[in-house]
């Protein structure tokens, strides 16, 4: 049953490898808990009381409510699948109430800080080396296109339509979207492609499927992208988290601050639901409140 469940997530729901790994970890933790504490080996025999007991044990381990909710989400998906595909009589998660969590607004980097980061990179890129041009372009595409890290890593040469200034992006669930490229970004890409091609020749490497490569012309990997973003953001910002996703948050927030339509932002981000995009509107509202409190005589 578990094997068929993960086949369903991977091939029908098209979940990412990252999500699949998280689901596997959460479900393995739950089944191990059942076996150790209740000697339950079959998911058919799971009760709501046992799920609640597991939640209590997670709290005792100082697991945050947000993480507990993520684990419960994995279990809900599993038991819904077992009901629909394997005839499970009752879903033990049906009466489980998820613990409350505080709504967290996305962290962003101020526009002037990002402008300074790109200014520093462009000054360095004056030496025109493959590495400097690539690093600058990776950062620019994460921010200017609002890409997820995994989306950036998957970009291929065939995804670029530079004549129309468009980039094809394969998002979550293998959903495809087209993101516009600025004229400045197209110029950067064209320059980068020249140095990319020469680097492949210099290292005697065959043509590469991916747009971006490591120094040795291998595919990028998650930690590489994270380290690059963290290093560069650390030069210009004291924001708490300095991950690639911060640049995506900044992309959406800055569009919202400038008055972009929420449906347009949703399309550019590749969100399936408008609710996921509305959080960026909250960021703009909080900014308006702050300005009001500072400026209005009756605030």
Give catalytic residue positions.
148, 172, 245, 248, 271, 280
Residue 229 · residue 244 · CB < 8 Å: yes
**Torsion region of 180: left, alpha or beta (phi above 0 gives left; psi -120 to 50 gives alpha):** beta
CA 264 to CA 277: how far, in whole Å? 10
With vertex at residue 113, the alpha carbon angle to CA 110 and CA 118, rounded to the nearest 5 degrees, is 125
The residue with tokens 């210009």 is 236
Q: Is 247 exposed, middle or buried (0-12, 13-18, 19+ CB in 10 A)?
A: buried
Residue 39 · residue 63 · CB < 8 Å: no
Task: Determine which helix (DSSP H) or strand (DSSP E) holds 177, and give its type and residue range.
Answer: strand 176-180
CA 12 to CA 194: how far, in whole Å? 39
């Amino acid at each position: 049953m578990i094997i068929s469940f993960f086949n369903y997530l991977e091939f029908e729901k098209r979940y990412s490898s990252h999500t699949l790994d998280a689901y596997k970890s959460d479900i393995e933790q739950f089944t191990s808990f059942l076996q150790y504490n209740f000697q339950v080996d079959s998911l058919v025999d799971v009760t709501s009381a046992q799920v609640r007991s597991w939640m209590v044990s997670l709290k005792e381990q100082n697991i945050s409510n947000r993480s507990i909710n993520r684990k419960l989400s994995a279990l809900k998906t599993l038991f819904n699948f077992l009901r629909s595909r394997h005839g499970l009589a009752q879903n033990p998660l049906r009466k489980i109430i998820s613990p409350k969590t505080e709504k967290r607004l996305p962290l962003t980097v101020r526009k002037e800080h990002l402008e300074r980061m790109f200014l520093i990179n462009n000054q360095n890129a004056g030496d025109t080396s493959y590495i400097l041009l690539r690093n600058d372009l990776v950062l620019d595409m994460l921010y200017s296109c609002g890409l997820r890290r995994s989306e950036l890593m998957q970009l291929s040469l065939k995804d670029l339509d530079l004549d129309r200034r468009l980039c094809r992006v394969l998002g979550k669930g293998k959903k495809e979207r087209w993101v516009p490229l600025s004229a400045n970004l197209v110029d950067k890409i064209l320059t980068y492609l020249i140095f990319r091609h020469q680097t492949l020749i210099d290292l005697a490497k065959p043509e590469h499927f991916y747009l971006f490569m490591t120094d040795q012309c291998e595919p990028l990997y998650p930690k590489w992208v994270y380290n690059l973003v963290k290093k560069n953001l650390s030069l210009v910002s004291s924001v708490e988290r300095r991950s690639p996703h911060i640049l995506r948050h900044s992309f959406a927030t800055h569009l919202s601050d400038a008055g972009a339509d929420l449906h347009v932002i949703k399309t550019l981000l590749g969100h399936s639901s408008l609710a996921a995009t509305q959080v960026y509107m909250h960021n703009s509202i909080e900014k308006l409140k702050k300005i009001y409190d500072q400026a209005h005589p009756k605030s």
